[in-house]
Amino acid sequence: VRTPAAVPWVCATLCLATVSGAQQPPETANSYEIWAELVPGEHRLDGRERLVWTNTSEDTVTDMWFHLYWNAFKNSSSVVNRQIARRNAFGEEGYLHPPIDVGDDDWGWTEVTRIATADGDDLTGTITFGDDPGGDQTIMRIELPRPLSPGEAVKLHIDFQSRVPRNAMRSGRQNDNYMMMQWYPKPGVYQTGRGWVAHRHYPYGEFFADFADFTVHFTVPSNFVVGATGREVARREDPESGTTRYTYSQRAVHDFAWTADTRYLRVEREFVPSEHITEDRYREVARILRLPVEEVRLRPVLMTLLIQKEHRHLIDRHFEGMADAIAYYGLWYGPYPYDVVTMVDPPFGSNAGGMEYPTLFTVGTSLLPGINKRPHGLIAHEFGHNYWQGVVANDEFSHPWMDEALDKYSDGKMYEALYGPLVYELHVGGLPVSRYTRDITWYVRDYYRAAVSLVTTLDPVDQPASRFCSSFSYYANTYARGTIVLHTLERIVGADTMHRILRTYQMRHRYRHVTPDDFFATVNEVSGRDLSWFFEVALRSTATFDYGIAAVAAAPAGAPRGVFGTGAGRHTVTAAEVDEADAAADERHAYLVKVRRYGDASIGGDVALEVRAVFSSGQEQSQMWDGRGRWAELRFEGDSPLDHVVIDPDRILLLDVNLTNNSRTFEPSRAGVLRWMNRVLAAVQNALLLVPAAV
């Protein structure tokens, strides 16, 4: 039943890999070998699993919890379907896939038919599914025959049968396409003192599992084209049954996904670093990261694309985006840790286009990809999850921002650096007519900023995925606000330091589970500053930042006039003397500026806000405001009339929900507004003309 303690050896391997920056994934303490056969006609999957699970905690373990996520699609009483039904009742359909809107033959499930130790102890009778009131079976508990001490391992033999659900939450089938995601019995994570962490399947946040070495043999009809996590190591065709058995293997991943479709085109190309990265680029990155050049060098990666036939004209685009992502993420955050990566273009209408799994991700595209770089951004994001979640593995359910925000920040930086701003794309009848809207451009962070003001008061960013007020709040807080938090952090510590922070965080924690504290500690250590206040207010509170210039006024003119002093010192300042003093004051151009903190959040630590006055001669004057109080009055004097005053002129505090009030010009300027209102007026006039023409 048990193997000798493997923990010290595993730890040594992991530490060595991390410290030396070695790129080969280490062996892990856990392993899976799975045999699966897909019977498409019956939408059935039969599987056998040989699992070695090692107790790497300091506790003695007496039971085990597994994920059986396809049971989320077994009936409408599952946790995920109940939550979706509740949220849809509030009109949130647009944010959720509709797994409960299926026909009677579309339900799917996984049933463990037998589970036993390698020594023959049958544990099937100990199976329970927890105490969910709706009878949810997405997690399963078994009792071990004997307590498992720290460092000991258990070998389990698991037989399971599944019915493949109609595409739901990115898993399942559509016509002849099979997306086999979250498809096998997978243990949760045992943490010292906390016990088993195995979350039921909620609409969001589905990854948290131990790293393991996988060998998976799956059998499908021979006319299917397949792809999977890892590298194909064997293939055996059986002409008699018309099936082919594929074997894929991968070390040090926490999940395994595969897909099969009769309509995939399979294309392979190699990422060759020297074709994408010059020596000068290596040296520049190494200088910024303060690392030897050899440590930032990348290595070849085998890129595989499974693409729908109607998208064959987009093959080059996919590989271009993939290579760009491997190069960008590899240079800044560390070399891609595996030697293979597979992109999957799922069928149209499957709702599966945009999901990450170790070394495999889905990327939905369109026949008409538009003028922005597409699907490059999505490729970067899903590929990037190999870094943020894949090898630096947060509990995605408990802290979803840790991978989604970090990855959105990273892919946004990449898009910005390689492809520039996004162009507003206008479609009429499905056809892109953006030729006429090209001067409207922005970056992803621009519209993410808008989300910040919409959801900050709803939820904090750092909380479990199931606790958000709404689906919109989940997305906007986790992805958008989390990303803007990181952009703000970058502006506080500087871009180069931010690169070093993320590089350190990535390389130090590869093949480990991380918590927010790991990230915060890395930030503080690398930046040399205590930014704990920032994380508390930005990630764990619902207070908004909003600083602004409330008013600007010319300082009161007129020197003091009247009688001053006492006794012999009494004297009178005359009107003539005042006029003379005022003439001198006019040349000073003095102004009073009232700055305000409109939001409830305030900056802290060693951060202060710059208030900059710019005079018409071009002269600039700056004062710092600590921003703790609700308001402050500042005085500026320049050599010419005041042009404008601006608080936080470099937009460091990107979390500020209203940047429009951050500046105030002394004289109004309406030309910009007129320019755009003229365009709006023309648009309204043309729209109005459509009304009578239409009836």
Partner 1 sequence: MTAWITFKAAIADVTRRPYPVLWLWIGNLLIALAVTAPFYALADAGLSHSLVGRRLLGSFDVTWLMDGAATSMNTIPMATPLAAAAALGYLLLSTFLTGGSLAHLADRDRHRTTAAVFFSDSGRLFPPLSRLLVLALVGYGLALGALALLLDAALSPWTGDPLTEWAGLIAGGVKALVLLLAFSILSMVFDYARVTMVLDDDARAVRSLGRGLAFVRRNFGAAWLLYLLCAAVFGAAALLYLEVYRVLPDDAVALIAVAFIFHQLFVAARCGIRLVFFASEIGLVQARR
* Interface positions with partner 1 (CB under 8 A): 174-175, 263, 308-311, 347-349, 366-367, 429-430, 435-436, 438-442, 446-447, 449-450, 453-454, 644, 646, 657-665, 668-682, 684-686, 688-689, 691-695
Q: Is 551 helix (H, G, I), strand (E, B) or coil?
A: strand
Q: Which two tokens stand for residue 683?
A: 């648009």
Nearer to partner 1, 19 or 440 (CB): 440
Least distance CB 458 / partner 1 (angstroms)? 12
Closer residue to partner 1, CB minimum distance, 4 or 668:
668
Nearer to partner 1, 151 or 347 (CB): 347
CB of 196 or CB of 666, closer to partner 1: 666
User: Which residue spans within 239-300 are E strands per DSSP?
Assistant: 243-253, 258-261, 264-271
Least Å from the CB of residue 424 to partner 1 = 8
Q: Which residues of 410-448 are buried (b: 16+ CB within 10 A; e: fewer)?
A: bbbbbbeeebeebbeeeeeeeeeeeeeeeeeeebbbeeb
Residue number, 428 or 563, with CB nearest to partner 1: 428
Closest distance between partner 1 and the C-beta of residue 236, in Å? 29
Calculate the dihedral angle through the C-alpha atoms of 227, 204, 448, 343, rounding to the nearest 10 degrees. 0
> What's phi and psi for 417, nearest 5 deg?
-70, -40
Q: At what angle do helices 315-333 and 279-289 cross, to 10 degrees?
A: 40
CA pair distance 22, 391, nearest whole angstrom: 14
In angstroms, rounded to a whole number, what is the distance separating the alpha carbons of residues 34 and 567? 103
- Name the minimum Å distance from CB 513 to partner 1: 36
- Residues with Cβ < 8 Å from 349, sequence gap 6 or more? 174
CB of 286 to partner 1, least distance (A): 35
* Cα–Cα distance measured from residue 635 to residue 633, given in angstroms and rounded to the nearest whole number: 7
- Distance of closest approach, residue 386 Cβ to partner 1, in angstroms: 27
CB of 451 to partner 1, least distance (A): 8
Which residue, 8 or 672, has its beta carbon nearer to partner 1?
Answer: 672
Distances (CA, A) of 142 to 139, 151, 185, 324: 10, 20, 12, 45
Closer Cβ to partner 1, 310 or 530, answer by number: 310
For Cα atoms 274, 280, 281, give the angle at the middle one, nearest 5 degrees: 70
The closest alpha carbon to 426, from 411, 436, 441, belongs to: 436
The distance of closest approach from Cβ of residue 672 to partner 1 in the complex, given in angstroms and rounded to an integer, is 3
CB closer to partner 1 out of 313 and 588: 313
Closest distance to partner 1 from the beta carbon of 440 (Å): 5
Three-class DSSP category at 294 = helix
Task: Pick between residue 174 and residue 527 the one whose CB is nearest to partner 1.
Answer: 174
User: Cβ(432)–Cβ(426) under 8 Å?
Assistant: yes
* Shortest reach from residue 549's CB to partner 1, in Å: 9
Q: What φ, ψ does residue 590 adopt, rounded to 5°? A: -100, 140
Residue 537 beta carbon to partner 1: minimum distance, rounded to whole angstroms? 19
**Rg, Å, the chain Cα set:** 30
- Tell me how far CA of residue 161 lies from CA of 70, 117, 200, 502, 557, in angstroms: 11, 18, 20, 42, 87
Output 311 or 500, the one with its CB closest to partner 1: 311
Fill in the amino acid letter for 329.
Y
Q: Which two three-digit tokens encode residue 140?
A: 């399963």
Closest distance of CB 149 from partner 1, Å = 53
E runs forming strands in 412-463: 422-423, 427-428, 431-432, 441-442
Query: What pairs with residue 422 in β-bridges?
Result: 442
- For residue 648, the minimal CB distance to partner 1 (Å) is 12
Comparing CB distances to partner 1, the nearer of 185 and 346 is: 346
Q: Report, in Å, the least distance between residue 487 CB and partner 1.
A: 14
Compare residues 568 and 695 and give the one whose CB is closer to partner 1: 695
Residue whose CB is less far from partner 1, 164 or 189 = 164
Alpha carbon distances (Å) from 84 to 73, 466, 590, 641: 12, 11, 60, 60
Query: CB of 140 within 8 A of CB of 204?
Result: no
Q: How far is the CB of 677 from partner 1 (least distance, A)?
A: 5
378 and 355 in contact (C-beta within 8 Å)? no
Task: Give the residue among 253, 168, 176 at the shortest CA–CA distance from 220.
Answer: 176
Q: How far apart are CA 320 and CA 84, in angstroms?
A: 37
Residue 64 CB, nearest approach to partner 1 (Å) = 39
User: How many Cβ atoms sit within 10 Å of the Cβ of residue 257?
Assistant: 28
Please say which residue, 435 or 570, places its beta carbon nearer to partner 1: 435
The smaller minimum CB distance to partner 1, of residues 12 and 677, is found at: 677
**Nearest to partner 1 of 207, 474 (CB atom):** 474
- Closer residue to partner 1 in complex, CB, 126/661: 661
Find the shortest distance in angstroms from Cβ 416 to partner 1.
14
Strand residues in 416-496 grouped as ranges (E): 422-423, 427-428, 431-432, 441-442
Buried b (16+ CB within 10 A) or exposed e, 310-338: ebeebeebbbebbbbbbbbbbbbbbbbbb
Q: Give the C-alpha separation, 185 to 34, whole Å.
A: 10
Of 444, 445, 443, 322, nearest to 384 (Cα)? 322
